[in-house]
């Protein structure tokens, strides 16, 4: 039926409405490519069979995608008079139950994602009804909150293969009106008012472009839709065409009429078969209804539209290359001018716009340009669709007003990584865009703001990256992409990108130098300024932005041959080794243990890590987070294995033999003297290696015994003093002398030490409590966590009351709480965020719970109330709510007016530690603002000659293994400085051991260390974690997948 006028259009509309909003229930399955990939076809069939089997009166429909890819398959249930409910993660097996529910007029709340009571298609409003109070409205759930659907107005709601449904929601009325009015200038006026900018990425004003084309000489003119979407990770256009092809057609027909075009082409990627299929169908239907072809809507205007499938060259997204491709030539761009509006396809005036630009046209014509400017920013009105992908929980298509900050996309809609890992960067604009670090997530998304930071908005790819993404690799990936997609016509893009890629390959292999980075920074601006087309002009962006915001990572690859993310394979042995601050060769000691070579295993362990008994108990075990076994079941419990090896060696012949081996390998006496200040983990690690390197090492410490935080801050039940003492003794036997009860800054100064010694290493730790602005803090009964733990460790008589409140969420807070609990107190930990935000080791928190410690989350200290005699009576805490996301990816606690009083007699503040700067002793040592020492990242050198520093005194409070890694590196650097040679590697023994990974992973769950029962724990300070049994170690060692073994897997090779 040909539509001729409003009357016939309305007739079709009524027909469409009968299908779109029938008088019986309708089940619509989301059948975009994403849904189909998740089994939506099966779901559809299951519903159809369920309906048929029951003989119930329910209508089935196929719709596009409503955008929430992570929750596919989405199914819309519309029961007349009730809200339309969107079900998520629907499986074919759910169909029967859902159909039964519908038949009884209900929807199971548990399956529902959200509901829609009324929907504004922007061409018409559809009211469904009210009800289902337990189901949230669509824009009340995190993913859709903050979204504004203009381009996606119909996606996932209407049947894309039925033109009548599009007409039902008010489609093609804008076209009818435009043709009836016969004033194409008015369309351009509306677009000008709307300030609509091209959505392909460049953001050129659409009205200007259209006006240019309109004024070009009459005759044959072309309009082209650029649907050659090729950015890695971007699929907005695919979904738009798949879900709502008629919006594109209507936009193009209005555009053709406005600009006087006679012919149109949609240039779609051939890799989008479903989009091609639905678009072809839409074109055929539009012809049949008189909306395309000759004499459209009886107006006398004729427009012919065809579809061309692009063969997949990325550069064909560039308009002149696209024209070349359409003319049957190789897709290579040509210089502009002449612009396509003047001389385009076949030399005729041509207009090219992106899919989304065309989508915006009908609604602007329908609602007016002024309406459009109410959304978005002043310079960039409207919305933009992004495909939110990568390391983000809620993947999918999001459409939000321009000007929405990046963090809203990543955290609010995206829900962060959802894995507990931190977001590191956001990549926008694909290979033409850039990587922006978390501290720039306040940036509003618009053309100018992103360009200013070196990225671009682009066509709408948004890739979230977390700590497992290596920024060098990201830069390399994108350059590899543009390098292979470069057409080769102009020199800077063709050869410049090749040279850039070669440099990045060198960086990722650890073979680059600083000069290579300089060359990358020279090449970037040249390629950008000189290249012929947009591909080359934007190709350096990923490199330039990663260099600008993540330079440290490039430098780590170059100077330390380190890829912290564990991506650049040539730079690490295995993910666990790479994640270990000490770079312990974990697979090696596991294999040596499996081979019953306990002596070798212990030597391997202690050479990598001089305090294995201690770290075996208290390490934060970052290795667990990277272990590939976690992909099968759970990470291998590496910490417990090395603890077991250490515990089995100390005090036995093994220790004696390994000591002999080490002493035999110790380098000859260098005649150099090194002072180490601080006998904590950092200082002990440095002393160990410096002694092995043949230097005479003296360790100074203000305490009565060596051990630092290990001895005086970690409670006995976690790390027994005897373990620390054993390890200190081991280091003493290597020839290290300890001078205790000597305070630097008081008894000696860095200067006096550097006169006495050839080199000085400052590793003093952070022993001063951070100040807090809390009324009543001076009361008796208020302790600082470290002082409290230190006093206990010194066996001082510490008095605490019956009711103890601990403030904080770190390890010091949990240690204090559990210590106080053991002293018989009733303990509550007050923390301003939620449990999952606590920096403390999660197992420690679990154990605290078991021991009866109570927790009050979302509470911040407000004031301490005195009992009138100088003591504490209570504390008032302010309830907090979680507000905006901060740079750590955690929500910031925001205090509310609600104040709660908690009675108590003791308060322990565990809100952080800082450096006590007394040690500088008036020297010129350069400190940072927070009191930590400023050092060179790679050499550990301070500004004073021959004075090095490391550990917490440099980084601020951290953890044992991080601190030790500083000591280890400083030892290497000090040795280089003292001898001028690179001798560190000579300390390490090569072990021959099995290199065959298991053919099949050994079965079995992760072993955990047996614990004392909570009852036993409550009254004693005995060690809680008892350590593995030999059977457990053996089993746990078998679980290792041997990611380090690069040889062939024998079992597979035999097949």
Partner 1 sequence: MPKQVKLKIDGEYVNATEGQSVLDAAKANGKFIPSLCHVQGLSGVGACRLCMVEIAGGARPLPACTTPVQEGMVINTVSERLSKYRRMIIELLLSERNHVCAVCVSNGHCELQDMATRLGVTHSSFPYRYPRLPVDASHPRFVLDHNRCILCSRCVRVCAEIEGANTWNIVSRGVNSMVAADLNEPWGDAESCTRCGKCVEACPTGALVVKGKAVEEMVKRTQTVSRLATARGGSR
Contact stretch for partner 1 (CB under 8 A) within 191-199, 492-500, 630-638, 915-923: 492-500
Q: Is 508 in the site for partner 1 (CB under 8 A)?
A: no
Q: Is 139 in the site for partner 1 (CB under 8 A)?
A: no
Q: How far apart are CA 645 and CA 776, in angstroms?
A: 49
Sign of the CA dihedral with 661 first, then 664, 665, and 669 last: positive
- Residues in 444-483 at the binding interface with partner 1, rule: CB under 8 A: 483
String of contacts with partner 1 for each residue 281-320, x by CB under 8 A: --------------------------------x-x-----
3-state secondary structure of 272: coil
Q: Is 491 in the site for partner 1 (CB under 8 A)?
A: yes
3-state secondary structure of 96: helix
Choose between 315 and 848: whose C-beta lies nearer to partner 1: 315
Separation in Å, CA 395 to CA 69, 355, 365, 1053:
6, 21, 32, 39
Choose between 312 and 775: whose C-beta lies nearer to partner 1: 312
Among 127, 183, 529, 936, binds partner 1 (CB under 8 A): 529
Q: Smallest gap, in angstroms, from Cβ of residue 453 to partner 1?
A: 17
Q: Smallest gap, in angstroms, from Cβ of residue 188 to partner 1?
A: 26
Q: Is 934 in the site for partner 1 (CB under 8 A)?
A: no
Q: How far apart are CA 262 and CA 302, in angstroms?
A: 7
Q: Is 509 in the site for partner 1 (CB under 8 A)?
A: no
- Residues in 328-347 at the binding interface with partner 1, rule: CB under 8 A: 330, 332, 334-335, 337
CA 271 to the chain's CA centroid:
28
10 Å Cβ neighbour count for 327? 10
DSSP string, 686-744: HHHHHHHTT-EEEEE-SSSSS-THHHHTS-TTTS-HHHHHHHHHHHHHTT-EEE-S--B
Choose between 523 and 785: whose C-beta lies nearer to partner 1: 523
Q: Smallest gap, in angstroms, from Cβ of residue 260 to partner 1?
A: 25
Q: Is 488 in the site for partner 1 (CB under 8 A)?
A: yes
Among 276, 296, 497, 973, binds partner 1 (CB under 8 A): 497
Of all helices (H) and strands (E), which one includes residue 321?
helix 319-326
C-alpha closest to that of 662 among 604, 707, 616? 604
If you count them, how many residues does the chain have? 1055
Contact stretch for partner 1 (CB under 8 A) within 351-359, 401-409, 527-535, 674-682: 527-535
Number of residues that bind partner 1 (CB under 8 A): 33
10 Å Cβ neighbour count for 219? 9
Choose between 488 and 671: whose C-beta lies nearer to partner 1: 488
Q: How far apart are CA 952 and CA 950, in angstroms?
A: 7
CB-side neighbour CA atoms (13 Å) of 758: 15
Choose between 89 and 502: whose C-beta lies nearer to partner 1: 502
DSSP string, 343-357: S-GGGS-EEEEEHHH
C-alpha closest to that of 536 among 322, 341, 314? 314
- The beta-carbon contacts of 292-296 under 8 Å, at least 24 apart in sequence, are 292/249, 292/253, 296/175, 296/179, 296/253, 296/257
Contact stretch for partner 1 (CB under 8 A) within 48-56, 489-497, 923-931, 1006-1014: 489-497
Q: Is 492 in the site for partner 1 (CB under 8 A)?
A: yes
Q: Is 532 in the site for partner 1 (CB under 8 A)?
A: yes
Choose between 523 and 987: whose C-beta lies nearer to partner 1: 523
| Cis amide bond preceding 337, omega within 30 | yes
Q: How far apart are CA 676 and CA 694, in angstroms?
A: 15
Choose between 499 and 943: whose C-beta lies nearer to partner 1: 499
Among 59, 537, 751, 866, binds partner 1 (CB under 8 A): 537
Q: How far apart are CA 1008 and CA 1036, in angstroms?
A: 9
| Cis amide bond preceding 714, omega within 30 | no
Q: Is 586 in the site for partner 1 (CB under 8 A)?
A: no
Whole-angstrom Cα Rg for the chain:
34
Pairing of strands 947-949, 759-762: parallel
Q: Is 502 in the site for partner 1 (CB under 8 A)?
A: yes
Among 179, 487, 944, 1040, binds partner 1 (CB under 8 A): 487
- Residues in 683-722 at the binding interface with partner 1, rule: CB under 8 A: none
C-alpha closest to that of 146 among 891, 893, 884? 884
Q: Is 519 in the site for partner 1 (CB under 8 A)?
A: yes
Q: Is 183 in the site for partner 1 (CB under 8 A)?
A: no
Locate the DSSP E strands across 270-382: 304-310, 350-354
Q: Smallest gap, in angstroms, from Cβ of residue 484 to partner 1?
A: 6
Choose between 522 and 669: whose C-beta lies nearer to partner 1: 522
Q: How far apart are CA 809 and CA 812, in angstroms?
A: 8
Q: Smallest gap, in angstroms, from Cβ of residue 201 to partner 1?
A: 17
Among 353, 408, 531, 759, binds partner 1 (CB under 8 A): 531
Among 56, 530, 667, 927, binds partner 1 (CB under 8 A): 530
Among 494, 665, 721, 1018, binds partner 1 (CB under 8 A): 494
Contact stretch for partner 1 (CB under 8 A) within 165-173, 388-396, 519-527, 749-757: 519-527
Interface positions with partner 1 (CB under 8 A): 313, 315, 330, 332, 334-335, 337, 483-492, 494-499, 502, 519, 522-523, 526, 529-532, 537
């Amino acid at each position: 039926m040909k539509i001729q006028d409003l009357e016939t259009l309305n007739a079709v509309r009524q027909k469409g409405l009968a299908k779109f909003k029938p008088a019986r229930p309708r089940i619509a399955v989301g059948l975009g490519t994403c849904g189909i990939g998740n089994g939506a076809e099966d779901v559809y069939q299951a519903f159809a069979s369920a309906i048929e089997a029951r003989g119930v009166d329910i209508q089935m429909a196929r719709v596009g995608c409503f955008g929430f890819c992570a929750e596919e398959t989405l199914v819309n249930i519309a029961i007349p008079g009730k809200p339309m409910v969107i079900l998520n993660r629907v499986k074919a097996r759910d169909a029967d139950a859902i159909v039964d529910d519908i038949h009884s007029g209900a929807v199971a709340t548990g399956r529902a994602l959200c509901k829609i009571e009324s929907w504004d298609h922007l061409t018409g409003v559809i009211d469904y009804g009210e009800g289902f109070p337990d189901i949230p409205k669509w824009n009340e759930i995190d993913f859709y909150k903050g979204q504004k659907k203009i381009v996606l107005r119909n996606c996932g709601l209407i049947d894309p293969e039925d033109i009548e449904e599009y007409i039902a929601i008010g489609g093609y009325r804008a076209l009818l009106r435009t043709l009836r009015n016969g004033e194409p200038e008015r369309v351009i006026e509306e677009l000008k008012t709307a300030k609509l900018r091209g959505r392909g990425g460049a953001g050129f004003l659409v009205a200007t472009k259209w006006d240019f084309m309109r004024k070009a000489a009459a005759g044959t003119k072309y309009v082209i839709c650029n649907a050659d979407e090729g950015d890695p990770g971007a699929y907005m256009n695919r979904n738009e065409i798949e879900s709502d092809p008629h919006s594109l057609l209507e936009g193009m027909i209005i555009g053709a009429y406005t600009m006087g075009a006679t012919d149109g082409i949609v240039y779609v990627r051939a890799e989008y078969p479903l989009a091609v299929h639905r678009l072809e169908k839409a074109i055929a239907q539009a012809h049949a209804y008189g909306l395309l072809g000759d004499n459209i809507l009886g107006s006398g205007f004729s427009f012919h539209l065809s579809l061309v499938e692009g063969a997949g060259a990325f550069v064909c997204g560039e308009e002149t290359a696209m024209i070349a491709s359409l003319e049957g030539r190789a897709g290579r761009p040509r210089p502009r001018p002449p612009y396509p509006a003047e001389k385009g396809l076949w030399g005729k005036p041509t207009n090219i716009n992106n899919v989304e630009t065309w989508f915006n046209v009908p609604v602007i014509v329908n609602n007016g340009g002024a309406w459009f400017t109410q959304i978005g920013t002043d310079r960039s009105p409207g919305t933009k669709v992004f495909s939110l992908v990568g390391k983000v929980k809620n993947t999918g298509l999001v459409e939000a007003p321009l000007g929405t900050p990046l963090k809203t996309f990543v955290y609010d809609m995206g829900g962060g990584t959802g894995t507990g890992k931190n977001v590191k960067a956001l990549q926008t604009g694909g290979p033409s865009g850039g990587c922006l670090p978390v501290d720039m997530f306040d940036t509003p998304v618009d053309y100018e703001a992103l360009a200013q930071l070196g990225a671009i908005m682009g066509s709408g790819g948004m890739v979230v990256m977390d700590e497992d993404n290596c920024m060098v690799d990201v830069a390399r990936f994108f350059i590899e992409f543009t390098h292979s997609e470069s057409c080769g016509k102009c020199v800077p893009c063709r050869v410049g990108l090749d040279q850039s890629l070669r440099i990045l390959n060198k960086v990722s292999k650890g073979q680059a130098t600083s000069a290579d980075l300089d060359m990358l920074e020279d090449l970037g601006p040249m390629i950008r300024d000189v290249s012929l087309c947009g591909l080359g002009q934007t190709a350096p962006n990923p490199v330039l932005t990663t260099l600008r915001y993540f330079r440290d990572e490039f430098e780590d690859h170059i100077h330390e041959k380190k890829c912290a993310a564990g991506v650049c394979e040539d730079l690490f042995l295995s993910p666990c080794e790479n994640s270990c601050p000490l770079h312990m060769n974990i697979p090696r000691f596991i294999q040596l243990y499996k081979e019953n070579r306990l002596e070798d295993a212990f030597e391997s362990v202690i050479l990598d890590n001089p305090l294995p008994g201690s770290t075996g108990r208290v390490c934060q075990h970052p290795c667990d987070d990277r272990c590939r076994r976690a992909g099968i079941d759970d990470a291998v419990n590496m910490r417990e294995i090395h603890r077991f090896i250490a515990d089995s060696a100390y005090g036995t012949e093994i220790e004696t033999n390994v000591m002999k081996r080490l002493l035999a390998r110790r380098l000859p006496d260098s005649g150099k003297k090194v002072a180490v200040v601080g006998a904590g983990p950092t200082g002990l690690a440095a002393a160990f290696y410096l002694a092995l390197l043949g230097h005479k090492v003296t360790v100074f410490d203000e305490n009565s015994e060596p051990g630092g935080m290990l001895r005086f801050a970690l409670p006995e039940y976690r790390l027994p003093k005897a373990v620390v003492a054993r390890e200190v003794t081991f280091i003493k036997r290597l020839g290290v002398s300890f001078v205790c009860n000597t305070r630097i800054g008081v008894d000696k100064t860095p200067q006096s030490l550097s006169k006495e010694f050839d080199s000085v290493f400052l590793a003093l730790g952070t022993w001063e409590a951070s100040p807090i602005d809390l009324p009543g803090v001076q009361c008796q009964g208020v302790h600082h966590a470290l002082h409290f733990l230190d006093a206990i460790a010194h066996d001082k008589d510490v008095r605490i009351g019956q009711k103890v409140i601990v403030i904080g969420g770190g390890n010091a807070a949990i240690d204090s709480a559990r210590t106080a609990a053991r002293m018989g107190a009733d303990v509550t930990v007050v923390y301003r965020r939620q449990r999952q935000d606590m920096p403390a080791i999660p197992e420690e928190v679990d154990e605290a719970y078991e021991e009866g410690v109570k927790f009050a989350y979302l509470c911040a200290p407000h004031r301490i109330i005195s009992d009138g005699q100088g003591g504490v009576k209570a504390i008032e805490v302010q309830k907090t709510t979680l507000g905006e996301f901060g740079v750590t990816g955690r929500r910031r606690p925001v205090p509310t007016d609600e104040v709660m009083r908690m009675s108590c007699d003791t308060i322990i503040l565990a809100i952080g530690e800082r450096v006590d700067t007394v040690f500088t002793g008036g020297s010129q040592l350069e400190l940072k603002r927070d009191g930590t020492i400023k050092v060179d990242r790679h050499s550990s050198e301070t500004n004073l000659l021959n004075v090095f520093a490391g550990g917490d005194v440099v980084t601020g409070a951290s953890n044992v293994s991080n601190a030790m890694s500083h000591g280890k590196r400083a030892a290497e650097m000090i040795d280089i400085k003292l001898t001028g040679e690179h001798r560190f590697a000579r300390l390490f023994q090569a072990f021959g051991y099995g290199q065959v990974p298991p053919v099949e992973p050994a079965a079995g769950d992760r072993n955990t260390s047996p614990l004392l029962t909570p009852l036993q724990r409550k009254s004693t300070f005995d060690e809680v974690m008892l350590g593995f049994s030999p059977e457990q170690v053996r089993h746990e060692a078998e679980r290792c997948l041997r990611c380090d073994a690069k040889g062939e897997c024998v079992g597979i090779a035999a097949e």
